[in-house]
Structure 1
Amino acid sequence: MLSIGELAERAGVTVKTVRFYSDRGLLPEAARSAGGHRRYGPEALDRLRTIRSLRTLDLPVPDVGRILDEEDALEDVVAGQLRELGTRLSALRWREAALRLLQDCTPEERADRLLLIGAVSVPPSTAAPARFWRRWLPARMPARLVSAIIDEAVPQPPADPTPAQVLAFARLHAFVSRDCRGTEAGRPAAHQPDKGYRPAVLYDGLREAFALAAPDLREGRPPHEGEALDCFVSAYAHACGAHDTPAYRRRLSGELATDPRIDHYWQLAAELSGPSQPTPGAAHDWLRAALDIRTARPASAA
């Protein structure tokens, strides 16, 4: 049996430290002396060393207790701490890039940039862009399709952002947080109930068309005819019960030319995701251009 002083000396800690862990139940006493002094068994030394090792990793006392008392708790605690540490590191990287953004701008720009950055949480959240898309998408869309569209349309903040990416995300956040009624974020024809479109059919087809166009976008190829364009037109045609004919393609080209657009959103999203991840907006523009080229060809030939 070891006294509290002997245990502290062998472990290389203070008596106060041993008492602290004992009082919190991490280091149970084996007995008390006749005078009421704490006594510890020989296993207490290894337990105390384990406690010190875990605390060296800055693990909270309750988590240390779980690890000591539950056989499989170490893995869960470590995983939780790594997630928390990752969040803290992301926040620090974001703050560093935001401070550099303020440091490297003119005094005239600084006030506006400070307001933009101050409106974004740290680490940044994608909740505002997700809300924007839920408002902008047609009503009564299947939940699984809405989730898939949001996943593809909302850019994730980079883990190690540049100052330019911090500014792009802050501007994106400001754009989606404003009242979009009566602005360029209005409803395209396919979203309007009286136009006869089935939005779920349309967006399922568009997602497939965008995926087909993505390799061309990544390689920087100009818009052209092919499977991606056929899928794009088919998505619109099937959604409104039409057939893919030259006349329909001409009509669709004109309709898309007058649709409200959210180009500013896609421009900022592209700054965040980079050229290796084409945005749905970039894919839509590429396919529209391919459609315009195709529908213009007969007229120019004549």
Structure 2
Amino acid sequence: MFIGIIFLIIGLFAIVVAFRQRKDRLWFILLAIITLLLSWNQAGTYARHQSYHEKNIMSTKVITRVDSSASKTAKSLVSKNSKLARTLSSRSSSLKKEASDLHLSIAKSQSNANKTSSTPSTNQTELATKQYDGQQTIKVNQNDPEFSNADLSTSRGAWQTYGNLDNRNRVSAANALLNKSLMPKTERESLDVDPTGWHNKRTNNGWLYNRCHLIGYQLTGQNNNAKNLMTGTRSLNDPEMTTYENEVAAYVKENKKNYVRYRVTPVFRGTELVARGIHMEGQSIGSNAVHFNVYIFNIESGYTINYQTGTSVKK
């Protein structure tokens, strides 16, 4: 802008001189025109600069306004997200509590189910005190199984459970609702679990002891399961237990809808490592095709067994 003013002054001065002098008037007029044009050009440049500056200011204002609006929107979104997060957190805590209550309820139901299905009503201590008098298998409760209505429910379908080993590693009761679906489809492998009191020896008929399955392999396919194996005499295993197992297996195989409630409880006396006998119960669902409640003595003819240790001597 300052240069433009200088050009304007020079131009005006050239005009004044041109009117006073005749000799070089043409040159002064030409100088006046050139300086006026330069002054005009400087004025235009200044005007364009001002216009651009004003536009920048307006643009800055617009951007500032836009930024301000965006900031408000962002703050609003943050606030909404915060509220949503608090809502979700509250809902999550509620769901976790509901899940916890549900798990607790299921656990209580399972605990109650185990209480009603794992232990027979007959006093096992009384069975343990019974003495063998020549009959290896005897009836219990007039041969009527001691299952409750809940025990006989098929609402869960076929199932099997095995009690935990006690503090002496002895087996406890095994329970099942047997069905064809549980039966194995492969041959049984050899056993390598040594149950408590396992001191085996050869006899005239083979071996004194067998690793006896509480629930036979042919019924569930359970094999090297320490919770399903006990030290039992050869005669206890076969023919005594096998007779009832075969009866159950034959019924279950007849129809895929056939169910048998089954419970086998080893009976120990005090701290002895070898069971005095086996308490077996079986009841077909919806019929008495399978119906038994028996106690089988864990004895072997011609041998005296030390039930505390599992050792034995020939009579």
Larger Rg: 2
TM-score normalised by L of structure 1: 0.23
Higher share in helix: 1
More strand by share: 2
TM-score (ref. length: structure 2): 0.22
